[in-house]
Structure 1
Amino acid sequence: MGKQEAFVLRALEERDVRFVRLWFTDVLGSLKSVSIAPAELEGAFEEGIGFDGSAIEGFARVHEADMLAKPDASTFQILPWRGETPATARMFCDIHLPDGTPSYADPRYVLKRAMGKAAEAGFSYYTHPEVEFYVFKGKPEKGGRPVPVDDSGYFDHTAQGGSQDFRREVITMLEGMGISVEFSHHEGGPGQQEIDLRYADALSTADNIMTFRTVVREVALSQGKWASFMPKPYTDQPGSGMHTHVSLFEGDENAFYEAGAQYQLSGTGRAFIAGVLQHSAEIAAVTNQWVNSYKRLAAGDEAPNHICWGRNNRSALLRVPMYKPNKSGSARVEHRGLDSGGNPYLAFALILAAGLKGVEEGYELPPETEDDVWSLSERERKALGIPSLPRNLDEAIRTMENSDLAAETLGEHVFDFFLRNKRREWQDYRTQVTQFEIDRLMSIL
């Protein structure tokens, strides 16, 4: 048994932990949990906890259902909302097959595998997400308009504001679990919040995002509110994105930085951006995985719907933040397409794979887009060579189906299941009669 496992077993006694929750994520990004007694944990470290994989979205077919959840001791944390005595802890798990090999269906393993490929090329992979979400006064009634907790706007400070108290409790809870927060503020929509997590390696960040969603929902429920990471809950208000800053390091050196180069951007950085741009359409079904995701992208505002890059251009899909003198470590690329409702393990893996493809094959970076892309006509965008992201989930699925990069990165099982699930979602959606159609057509047809 390793030092980390031994530390966890000691902590169980010292913190009077009575319940240990083992967390993992299904292919669609939903958090799963099984609770075990502390006495069972040593065996779980050594052998894992068996479960029926066929009951989990995308994990296994019935005839290959047996799987093992093996806790990762480095992710041990006390859950603060469960009280201090007796305490409840959690750990993320890696999923294994009965023979001990990693499960092909585990999203965490998909990201580990992609990061392993980057490591073989000498790179470590870091991400820093800006997570947006809405908070409502209560769980929205079916068919009704959600009622936001406030009518505030971007960066608003409201005396005795409920949103401030909400964010403060979320951040206190996150930091109590060892998850560092960099910024927080009110976003542009009524009741819309943003909390930015400090940069970390991509696997830790993905784990932190899953914990973040849980903490936000737990705090909301404790206050009689309802939190949602739905990309576009209101037709007439901004959607919720998850702008994510990405960087590669070679040892302690930022691989995206080169002193004296144009924009201080290295050849590696330029090729990485070119790779992400080249493959953005074919990974969009994962970076924006819901029918509703494309309502956010179509709306404009600060949501990109065209494939281009720029520096101080918030209409671009990828943005290179202006270089900070004497801070070479801060050189990075901001992906503005992601929303906060997807599977972070799969999304981060595909962004990395796309960027590395550009580096490996020496992709040329297209010219920077300085114009506000939303204000250009379709003809003007075509003349500038600016392609569009998929306009809906159906287009995204059809593009991903032909992607060798997505199939290789996700693995055959995840790739096939994900596409099957998304096709079913699109079919269910396209047969629905919406309120828009009733309001628009009932009186005239």
Structure 2
Amino acid sequence: MTKDLVCVATSDLVAVCRGRTFPVEDLSDRLTTGVGWVPANLALTAFGEIADPNPFGSAGDLRLRPDPATRAEIEPVLGGGALALYLADSVTCDGEPWDCCARTTLRNAVRDFEAATGLRLLVSFEQEFTLDGHEPYPAFSIRGLRAAEPFGSTLVATLGAAGLEPENWLPEYGTNQYEVTLRPAPPVAAADQAILLRELVRDVAARHGRRASFTPMPVSGGTGNGVHVHVSLLQPDGTPATHDPTGPGGLSAPAGAFAAGILDHAQALVALTASSVISYDRLRPHKWSSGGAFLGLRHREAMVRICSPVNSAAGTANLEYRAADATANPWLLLAALIRAGTAGIAGGLIPPEPVTGEVGELTEHGRAAARFAPLPASLPDALRALAADETVRGWFPPRLLACFEAVKHTELALAETTKDVHEVLAHVY
């Protein structure tokens, strides 16, 4: 005998989805009351230990209040019951927003962006992962695509059934690497869908006897898995507002300022968007990820890439942030980018000259015009940049930022004594 279950979950600061589960019969009550949660859960590291010290200690209680719009159905495993998964806001026991809720932090960033700019945003997450269980085939090949069957077609159907609107499914460049993208959505929905997609990918893989991992570096020195965040600007009536053929790289003034805001705080932002000790193995030149802090026109080593319109359709133009991976919480990651973009627009920032060729071939004048800067070489470097950037720090609740930094410094210490960090994190992600 089995029973259908409901899980109410949140994504923590190491981008692990955690929550509590109950019988489906209790759902109507739990949609209002939520489920119990503990503040210190936010201080869990990717290695399983709680960061110490952290802002919460052992005190306090919270509720995870599910958002009905996030419901995703997960098929039974081995004849078990079905599982309905909901993402939640973290709230106090009085139902008030908790200052350390990353989902609320993103919602506030979107609200402030719209108020400051009069614009709206559409966002899409492009996510790569490694799929074990078959021999390697050539990159982007039909054989690579078919080797993933029946996982691939089941995944596309599962995503569609969950309301996630898959757009692309393909074998990628790396060994047994695949990519899946979803259609653009408003920011909070897009980040929710990024979280749900990872859970569904891993679940479908497990049901087919495989392991899917979004780890940024499956093996040291190999090809990494990234998360690329595509952002489009819209007028309030939905008219595209990213493209202007007379602007630098074809960007409108607000889109250029949005990109400039990100690049102005690139060093600190990376700590929030590529958040693990192994993330920095892929953030370097010639890794097809992000080889430096610069704006690129159709350039796949840029931190911010200008994706030009297709067939002159202005609505297809967007900005792509490439210095991210799945160890970063999607809500926090996107909140950071939106805050930076808001600051850029509010400050009337002018974007640097877009790079179109190889960075290594730029002249001294070209590098200056591009305002090229290297990215942090390691997580400690990125955390130092975050600690020094008072503007970025001001975008986040102090306790949330303190907890994030405590988690990351604890992970650095734990990594020192972990035998195979790459394999441990491949299992986690």
TM-score by length of 2: 0.87
The Cα shift of 1:162 comes to 2.5
The Cα shift of 1:404 comes to 2.5
Compared CA separation, residues 186 and 106, structure 1 to 2 (3 A): same
Counterpart amino acid of 2:352? P
Compared CA separation, residues 81 and 211, structure 1 to 2 (3 A): farther
Give the match for residue 396 of structure 2: 410
Find the partner of 1:208 among 169, 177, 193.
193
The correspondence of residues 385-404 of structure 1 with structure 2, limited to 5 A, is 385-404=371-390
Give the match for residue 338 of structure 2: 352
Check conservation: 1:242, 1:338, Cα contact below 8 A: yes
Give the match for residue 234 of structure 2: 249
Give the match for residue 36 of structure 2: 50
Give the match for residue 179 of structure 1: 164
Counterpart amino acid of 2:83? T
Compared CA separation, residues 133 and 79, structure 1 to 2 (3 A): same
The Cα shift of 1:63 comes to 5.8
Give the match for residue 180 of structure 2: 195
Mapped partners of 1:114, 1:198: distance in 2: 21
The Cα shift of 1:312 comes to 2.2
- 1:337 maps onto 2:323 in alignment: yes
Find the partner of 1:133 among 129, 135, 159.
129
Query: Residues 412-437 of structure 1: CA distance to partner in whole angstroms, max 9, x if unpaired?
Result: 111111111112222333567889xx
Check conservation: 1:315, 1:374, Cα contact below 8 A: no
Compared CA separation, residues 49 and 413, structure 1 to 2 (3 A): same
Give the match for residue 275 of structure 2: 289
Aligned pair count reads: 409
Give the match for residue 107 of structure 1: 102
Check conservation: 2:37, 2:61, Cα contact below 8 A: yes
Give the match for residue 216 of structure 2: 231
- 1:116 maps onto 2:111 in alignment: yes
The Cα shift of 1:349 comes to 0.5
Compared CA separation, residues 185 and 120, structure 1 to 2 (3 A): same
Check conservation: 2:125, 2:228, Cα contact below 8 A: yes
Mapped partners of 2:273, 2:209: distance in 1: 31
Find the partner of 1:92 among 82, 87, 93.
87
Mapped partners of 1:396, 1:255: distance in 2: 32
User: Over the residues paired in the alignment, what is the CA RMSD in angstroms?
Assistant: 2.8
Check conservation: 1:118, 1:356, Cα contact below 8 A: yes
Query: Residues 110-151 of structure 1: CA distance to partner in whole angstroms, max 9, x if unpaired?
Result: 1111111112132322211221111123xxxxxxxxxxx321
Alignment partner of 1:244: what SS? strand
- 1:364 maps onto 2:360 in alignment: no
Percentage of pairs with the same residue: 25
Query: Residues 77-131 of structure 1: CA distance to partner in whole angstroms, max 9, x if unpaired?
Result: 3223459995432221111112221111211111111111112132322211221
Check conservation: 1:127, 1:202, Cα contact below 8 A: yes
Query: Residues 6-47 of structure 1: CA distance to partner in whole angstroms, max 9, x if unpaired?
Result: xxxxxxxxxx98322112122222101211233433332333
The Cα shift of 1:322 comes to 2.1
Counterpart amino acid of 1:108? R
Deviates more, 1:349-358 or 1:56-65: 56-65
Compared CA separation, residues 89 and 371, structure 1 to 2 (3 A): same
Mapped partners of 1:303, 1:101: distance in 2: 39
The correspondence of residues 254-333 of structure 1 with structure 2, limited to 5 A, is 254-258=240-244, 260-298=246-284, 300-333=286-319
Check conservation: 2:124, 2:181, Cα contact below 8 A: yes
Mapped partners of 2:362, 2:146: distance in 1: 39
| Larger RCO, structure (CA 8 Å, separation 6 or more) | 2
Check conservation: 2:175, 2:223, Cα contact below 8 A: no
Query: Residues 153-192 of structure 1: CA distance to partner in whole angstroms, max 9, x if unpaired?
Result: 3211118932243222211111111111111111111211
Check conservation: 1:353, 1:405, Cα contact below 8 A: no
Check conservation: 1:82, 1:88, Cα contact below 8 A: no
Mapped partners of 1:372, 1:177: distance in 2: 41
Query: Residues 352-396 of structure 1: CA distance to partner in whole angstroms, max 9, x if unpaired?
Result: 111110000111211122231256699985796411110100100
Query: Residues 310-343 of structure 1: CA distance to partner in whole angstroms, max 9, x if unpaired?
Result: 2122221111112234522222101111123321
Compared CA separation, residues 21 and 249, structure 1 to 2 (3 A): same
Mapped partners of 1:223, 1:268: distance in 2: 46
Alignment partner of 2:43: what SS? coil
Check conservation: 1:27, 1:105, Cα contact below 8 A: no
The Cα shift of 1:227 comes to 1.3
Alignment partner of 2:122: what SS? strand
